[in-house]
């Protein structure tokens, strides 16, 4: 099995006060109250957290490539305020592990701090999983170092560059994945510039 996906999650935690209030106001059963509490008070937090951390987890996936394992195709880090069960779980090839985390602290951080925190949470979980599964941790650490070297900037070209009909220009789509946004640009380059760059003839002046 090939490990090729990495993600962070914010598992739902039952707020008993909210649930009791919903039961009283909506006059519904306990299970229905939990569903309503999730939809009203947790679902948006979970989605927002995943979107904010996805710039780094997606960058990790892109740089990492694939890793052969016995029974795991995805690593899922469950970010929780308190850990009640330290066990690592493998469900249908998804290896999940809990890591202690404060959503309030995370939300107050700057964009760069959120990127750094995301990578730290991811690597804390990966370290536990590699130890438990007897995987070689070196390739995982190498990707983390690469992300740090790149300044946590997740930027890449989408597919191959396209040439104009006259082949005078080439165009490529550049994607820049941020914490709160995805910026997409089109870069158009004259052929003479591309050819000169390939030959190494471009000179800079101060």
pLDDT of residue 169: 83
The average pLDDT across 13-39 equals 90
pTM attached to this predicted model: 0.83
pLDDT score at 192? 54
| Cβ atoms of 152 and 168 closer than 8 Å | no
Rounded to an integer, the average pLDDT of 6-13 is: 94
Following DSSP, what letter does each residue of 1-17 receive, concatenated? -EE-EEEEE------HH
Per-residue pLDDT, averaged over 47-60, amounts to 96
Q: How does residue 156 score in pLDDT terms, banded at 50, 70 and 90?
A: confident
pLDDT value of position 197: 45
pLDDT tens sequence across 179-201: 999 898 888 888 655 555 454 44
Mean pLDDT of 87-98: 92
User: Once rounded to an integer, what is the mean pLDDT over residues 82-107?
Assistant: 91
**pLDDT at residue 77 above 90?**
yes
Burial (CB count <10 Å: 0-12, 13-18, 19+), residue 185:
exposed
With beta carbons less than 8 A apart as the criterion, state whether 75 and 95 touch: yes
Q: What strand order describes the sheet that includes 94-100?
A: 5-9, 74-80, 94-100, 89-91
């Amino acid at each position: 099995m090939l490990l090729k996906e990495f993600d962070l999650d914010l598992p739902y935690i039952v707020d008993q006060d909210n649930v009791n209030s919903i039961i009283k106001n909506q006059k519904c059963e306990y299970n229905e109250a939990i569903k309503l509490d999730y939809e009203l008070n947790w679902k948006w937090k979970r989605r927002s957290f995943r979107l904010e951390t996805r710039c780094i987890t997606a960058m990790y996936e892109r740089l990492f490539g694939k890793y052969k394992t016995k029974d795991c195709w995805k690593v899922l880090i469950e970010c929780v305020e308190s850990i009640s069960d330290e066990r690592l779980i493998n469900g249908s090839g998804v290896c999940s592990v809990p890591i202690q985390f404060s959503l309030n602290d995370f939300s107050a951080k700057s964009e760069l701090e959120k990127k750094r925190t995301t990578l730290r949470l991811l690597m804390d979980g990966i370290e536990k999983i590699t130890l438990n599964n007897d995987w070689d941790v070196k390739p995982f650490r190498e990707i983390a170092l690469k992300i740090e070297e790149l300044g946590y900037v997740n930027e890449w070209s989408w597919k191959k560059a396209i040439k104009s009909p006259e082949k005078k220009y080439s165009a490529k789509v550049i994607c820049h994945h941020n914490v709160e946004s995805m910026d997409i640009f089109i870069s158009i380059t004259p052929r003479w510039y591309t050819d000169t760059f390939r030959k190494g003839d471009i000179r800079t002046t101060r």
